[in-house]
Amino acid sequence: MTQTIYRPPFRKQLTGVATQRNDCGPIAVRHAVLRHSLGALDPAVSAIRAKAGVPTAQFTINDVTKALAGFGITVAATWDRFDDFHVDELEAWLAAGNYAVLLGDYDEVPASLKGDREFTGNHFTFANESVAPAGDLMYDSLDDGRIDAPSTTRRAPRGPIVWPDSVVNAYLHGLSDMQDEDVTVSLIRRRTLARKATTVNVRAGPSRTTAVIGSWVRGPVEYGGVVIGESIGGNSRWFRIWWPLTAQIAFVHSSVVVVIS
């Protein structure tokens, strides 16, 4: 099957730790780190908070940026409600294969899409990709499938789920119940490679003894970091990549590729 964009595993917010009610920001960062590393790095909330220097309180958008930097992630831009950045620019960013941490007003999200129908405050989420024309694939840390009190039967959604563009719009514009056209986001650019050779063997592991799962002949691929594997000509560096044609993590030797972004 073809899955163009890597989708990190979902991580929930309500885990029983003392800070859980304030952890939507750290969990949004966690999803971003998972995407950036293609699942290789999955930090605990305590580690994320340590990177931001915020041991217990709610995150701000600048705390998100600081925490991401602590994990080696360069944020392309951080915008808050007082900057001139709009939702159509965010949608173009996602449509180009990039991703973002968003801060919006949970009160603007319909009950059918909410992991907590009683909560109406500001809330961080992670936008992994555009799934036009349906909307955006959102990682809302409250979407853990639990029975959603006060109901005794209604379950929260199981993330990630698609939010229609109209919902993303309303959520971003209603921050702190102050309607404003500027949106509060941290933008992260996907990391990509290009081929040096006409055809590059894509392998199941960082070694020539592992199976070839595909032949890369066109376009860029997203990578999630460098691993040490079999040495070829004295070079043991391999890139961990997302191989969309079989929707799996794969590897290419660094000698046959070049970093684009």
Span between the terminal Cα atoms of the chain, in Å = 26
Asked if 20-188 and 192-259 have one fold, the answer is no
Collect the ranges in the chain with pLDDT lower than 50. none
3-state secondary structure 177-238: HCCCCCCEEEEECCCEEEECCCCEEEECCCCCCCCEEEEECCCCEEEEEEEEEEEECCEEEE
Domain locations along the chain: 20-188, 192-259
Give tens-digit pLDDT for 51-90: 999 999 999 999 999 999 999 999 999 999 888 899 999 9
The per-residue pLDDT for 181 is 73
**Backbone φ, ψ for residue 78 (5° rounding):** -120, 125
Q: What is the pTM of this model?
A: 0.96
The per-residue pLDDT for 1 is 58
The per-residue pLDDT for 232 is 97
Does the structural domain 192-259 have CATH classification 2.30.30.40?
A: yes
Residue 132 identity: A
Does the structural domain 20-188 have CATH classification 3.40.190.10?
A: no
Q: Residue 131 and residue 117: Cα distance in Å, rounded?
A: 25
Q: Residue 85 and residue 189: Cα distance in Å, rounded?
A: 16
Query: Which residues partner with 223 through β-bridges?
Result: 241
- The secondary element (H helix, E strand) that includes residue 62 is helix 61-70
